[in-house]
Structure 1
Amino acid sequence: MTGFARVRRTLAAGDLVLSIKSVNHRGLDLHFRLAPDLDSFESALRSAVRRRVARGHLDIHAAWDRRASDGASGLNLPLLEAWLAAFREAAREGGISATPDLNAALRIPGMFGGPAPAEPSPEIERELVAAAEEALEMLNGFREREGAAIAQDIRRRCESISGLAAQIESIRSRAAAAFHARLKERLEELLRPAAIDPQRLAQEAALAVERSDISEELLRLQVHTRQAAELAASGGEIGKKLDFLLQEMNRETNTLLSKTAALGEIGLQITDLALAAKGEIDKIREQSLNLE
């Protein structure tokens, strides 16, 4: 599901800004863009995200604006001196005469704010993880509201599939008489002017109906549809379970389509209804990608 959250924290050492953007994805796909001073905290952030999110593509961005020490000019003199020394050494080895470009030097990350601390502060890590948890709380609020709307749409489509299956069942009950009439018509064309044995005609019609019986497929379709609707109403992490049920529902509709292809006019009616059911299943599958 989609969502966005941003959290800002002000610390004695500087300002921290963390943002999280989420889009649909089958699994959990995490991408981090952290300020250099925060790179060592990626593992802690990853654990915090995994505790609260199970599915989606998440972009996590953390910026750190380190505050200069009191009384300092704000210029990282050790870094500037190191850059100037490296510049002069490169010029000497290359045998070239050049003047350092201070404008370029001042654009180097970390040039302002004084020398970086030897190790990231544990306080920064705690505040970063706390900011991530706050942002995830906000993000999950967006996702839950979207999930509730999606679940309602899924339940509505499940009701539609159940109604279509009931219509197919009503039409199926007329299949035996239709087969009998169609088979008699064909046999009359083939055997004219020979007589047709009524008993043999009834047996052949019964066999044809048995081969095209879709009562089990309809029963399983109704059961899976009811389970999908109940699952959508239950909340929680339902994406993978719903995927499985949709596969089964699609399989049942494909089977009843293949079994009723030779039913003539009745078969065409069943085909129209089954294709409509498949359309609803496909729409539910698209929505299921938005759920955890």
Structure 2
Amino acid sequence: MTGFARVRRPLEQSELMVSVKSVNHRALDLVIQSSAAIDPFEAMIRAMVKAQVVRGHVEVRVSLPKSSGGVSALTLNREFFEEYLRIFRQEAENHDLDSKPDLNAALRIAGMLDEVESAGPPEGTETALQEALARALDELNVFRSREGSELAAEVRAHNTRLGEAAEQMEQLRDSAREYFHKRLSDRLRDVAAGIQIDPQRLAQEAALLADRSDIGEELARLKIHSGQLAALMEAGGEVGKKLDFLLQEMNRETNTILSKTSGSGEPAMKITDLALGAKAAIEKIREQSLNLE
């Protein structure tokens, strides 16, 4: 799920800023962008994010103004300075100029002075970082929760359509089975024409084959899975991975229904349309489940 939050916290001579952004992803993919001064706290940042976010590509940015790292000294780039003096004196001599180097001007040349930063972050950074990140994650989850509610509503709507399709297929089931049984009986009689076969045995074989094409068990399991999905969405919490398993089972049942009812006349054609609609609903739920935790 997507979301964004930014929080600032004051430090002694500056401020720390934490921003957190998340986009959809199958697993937790965490990226931390910060200055070297924040490196000691990376493990803490990862632990805090993992405790709040299960899925998603999450980017955490920690901004600490360069000056807040604590510039302990300015050092002269001596090689650069000596080269500057050599060139200045050489050119003054070449052009017969009575000029002396201006130290103020020389020190303003880019690269003449180097900043030496203190090794560690400013005092109070860890506490400020903990507070800012905790607040940012709370705000991020407000966004994600709002989007999650919308996604859950869509999943429930698709599951309702799936359940309705299963009920309609159940109503057509007997008609399709009777049609298939009659067609098998007719074909077996045609094949057995001129051959002495017990009519009762012929009817038994036709009934056995018709039973194998019955979709009653698949419909029963499909409705059970649909009910489990509804209960899962009602319970809330982490549902993404559990949905994956249910959707695999539901897809398997609809595929079996399609294979069993092919070529069984008009009732089966209606069942096929309904099963294809059920597969479309399952696929829609699968798409949304990738964004749910």
Question: Normalising by structure 1, what TM-score?
Answer: 0.83
Distance in 2, matches of 1:2 and 1:64, equals 25
Distance in 1, matches of 2:140 and 2:113, equals 34
* Alignment partner, residue 15 of structure 1: 15
**Contact 2:6–2:18 at 8 Å: present in 1 too?**
yes
Alignment of 1:1-292 (within 5 A): 1-67=1-67, 76=71, 78-81=73-76, 84-85=77-78, 87=80, 104-105=110-111, 111=115, 115-121=116-122, 123-187=124-188, 189-190=190-191, 198-292=199-293
Deviation track 1:238-268 (CA, whole Å, cap 9, x = no partner) reads 1111111111111111122222224233332
> What letter is aligned with 1:38?
I
Residues 1:85 and 1:227: Cα distance change in structure 2 (over 3 Å): farther
> What letter is aligned with 1:19?
S
* Rg larger in structure: 2
SS of 1:237's partner is coil
> What letter is aligned with 2:53?
V
Aligned length: 274
Distance in 2, matches of 1:23 and 1:122, equals 33
Residues 1:206 and 1:188: Cα distance change in structure 2 (over 3 Å): closer
**Contact 2:177–2:213 at 8 Å: present in 1 too?**
no
Distance in 2, matches of 1:244 and 1:105, equals 61
* Structure 1 portions without partners, runs of 5+: 92-96
Distance in 1, matches of 2:228 and 2:134, equals 34
> What letter is aligned with 2:276?
L
SS of 2:246's partner is helix
* Structure 2 portions without partners, runs of 5+: 85-89, 91-105
Deviation track 1:158-180 (CA, whole Å, cap 9, x = no partner) reads 11111101111111111332023
Question: Normalising by structure 2, what TM-score?
Answer: 0.83
**Contact 1:243–1:288 at 8 Å: present in 2 too?**
yes
Distance in 1, matches of 2:176 and 2:206, equals 10
SS of 2:182's partner is helix
Identity %: 48
Distance in 2, matches of 1:223 and 1:229, equals 10
> What letter is aligned with 1:243?
D
Deviation at 1:101, TM superposition (A): 9.8
Deviation at 1:149, TM superposition (A): 1.0
Distance in 1, matches of 2:291 and 2:113, equals 42
**Contact 2:73–2:117 at 8 Å: present in 1 too?**
no
Distance in 2, matches of 1:122 and 1:240, equals 42
Distance in 2, matches of 1:106 and 1:220, equals 78
Deviation at 1:141, TM superposition (A): 0.3
